[in-house]
Structure 1
């Protein structure tokens, strides 16, 4: 749909502009982090395995954090991956007998708040810091609308959905300007058609299958590597 392509292009432009503004303001009094996410993805829905964390396809992304205090950061990211499902890999007898498969390309934009359980004050450069953290926020994901006919999964059109991310992880400043983290993040979507089980297109409505009262999930698990830059804040109490 044209409006979805317009939204996608607008979000890409906003992301590029955002990172440009970051580099133009390197004298800000906050620590900034910019880096990459590298890991894997898996799907939880009406097709394939029901394992909650089981990376199957490569997931890559970029992220930026603005550390507002030692306990919380504003985080912005873009992540993309392929999610797959194969009923033959399931331990559910009915799915194995059905034998459906699917593949979907997802592109995720996210903005939200990362909260540290312990103080993560990067002003103390000679001190090794380790903390668990959680993240959630507002996420929008683009994906392919699918439908299954005669046992074969086909593409219809591009679509988008709001997503609620629920991420837990642990991180440490392994070097003076390098922060390494590991995280697992489940994404609850507002669609039931990442796998083709509930097509939006009314022409394919008779082809729906599975649990129609349950939305699809996908999971990203992997490592974040970020570089810190600009002046170190003192986080002084006002």
Structure 2
């Protein structure tokens, strides 16, 4: 994971030196989990999430976006509306550290060099996410760590943003991650010695959601936004 982070930041700084218009900033918000333990609410942040992001704006409609975000995700059956989960009473915590790269698309033109105009646009983002987490298992009602692991996820983000000041853009977004694992909560341990401890829906992967604000600073030369 450390080598991937080094490569990630090298790519960002290389783009900063060669691209025409940039945004760099932070994400601050909350996280929640959707899986076999805890609440089934899709957007219900209960843990702090934070990160950094960089955008290389290729046109007023689309940007290449790179980010690093981390958070603790958690679930508690006692908070669920499902009677069976409340009776079971399991709970867990897991640490998520992700890097993500993909394309952000604006529904309306968002020309960062039109300094005098206030602009607002909805946007969507998707790409590929790679994240580190802990493989868990539940024994005698207690959730324990087996080993550290990592896998991929598909981010699906929707948001709205505006240039609140000359070089400052504020965004509000909700982003679900469809992961390639079903064991963020300890319900499906990969360890063959723990197969008897499986529970929940084994045909459905886990999700986690980041909801919050982005604040970015824009800089760079004015691009022509023309076909190469």
TM class by smaller structure? over 0.9
1:158 Cα deviation (Å)? 0.7
Unpaired runs of 5+ in structure 1?
A: 1-7
Deviations 1:26-70 (A, max 9, x none): xx5621000000000000000000000000000000000000000
On the 8 A contact 2:156/2:177 being kept in 1, the answer is yes
1:92 aligns with 2:82: yes
Q: Distance in 2 between matches of 1:40 and 1:177?
A: 25
Q: Distance in 1 between matches of 2:19 and 2:155?
A: 29
Taking structure 1 as the reference length, what is the TM-score of the superposition?
0.93
Taking structure 2 as the reference length, what is the TM-score of the superposition?
0.97
On the 8 A contact 1:191/1:216 being kept in 2, the answer is yes
1:17 Cα deviation (Å)? 1.8
Residue number among 9, 12, 19 corresponding to 1:16 in the alignment: 9
Give the direction of change, closer, same or farther, for the CA distance of 1:166–1:29 in structure 2 (3 Å limit). closer
Q: Distance in 2 between matches of 1:9 and 1:175?
A: 35
Q: Distance in 1 between matches of 2:140 and 2:199?
A: 13
Deviations 1:68-89 (A, max 9, x none): 0000000000000000000000
1:20 Cα deviation (Å)? 3.4
Q: Distance in 2 between matches of 1:128 and 1:160?
A: 41
Detail structure 1 runs of 4+ shifted over 4 Å in the superposition.
none
What is the aligned partner in structure 2 of residue 82 from structure 1? 72
Q: Aligned to 1:167, what secondary structure does the other structure show?
A: strand
What is the aligned partner in structure 2 of residue 159 from structure 1? 149
Residue number among 14, 29, 43 corresponding to 1:39 in the alignment: 29
Give the direction of change, closer, same or farther, for the CA distance of 1:220–1:29 in structure 2 (3 Å limit). closer
What is the aligned partner in structure 1 of residue 187 from structure 2? 197
Unpaired runs of 5+ in structure 2?
A: none
Q: Distance in 1 between matches of 2:96 and 2:169?
A: 27
Q: Aligned to 1:127, what secondary structure does the other structure show?
A: coil
On the 8 A contact 1:104/1:194 being kept in 2, the answer is yes
Give the direction of change, closer, same or farther, for the CA distance of 1:164–1:29 in structure 2 (3 Å limit). closer
On the 8 A contact 2:67/2:100 being kept in 1, the answer is yes
Q: Distance in 2 between matches of 1:227 and 1:89?
A: 39
Residue number among 35, 46, 52 corresponding to 1:56 in the alignment: 46
Residue number among 104, 111, 114 corresponding to 1:114 in the alignment: 104
Q: Distance in 2 between matches of 1:115 and 1:106?
A: 26
1:105 aligns with 2:95: yes
On the 8 A contact 2:96/2:131 being kept in 1, the answer is yes
1:236 Cα deviation (Å)? 4.0
1:126 Cα deviation (Å)? 0.7
1:18 Cα deviation (Å)? 2.7
Q: Aligned to 1:121, what secondary structure does the other structure show?
A: coil
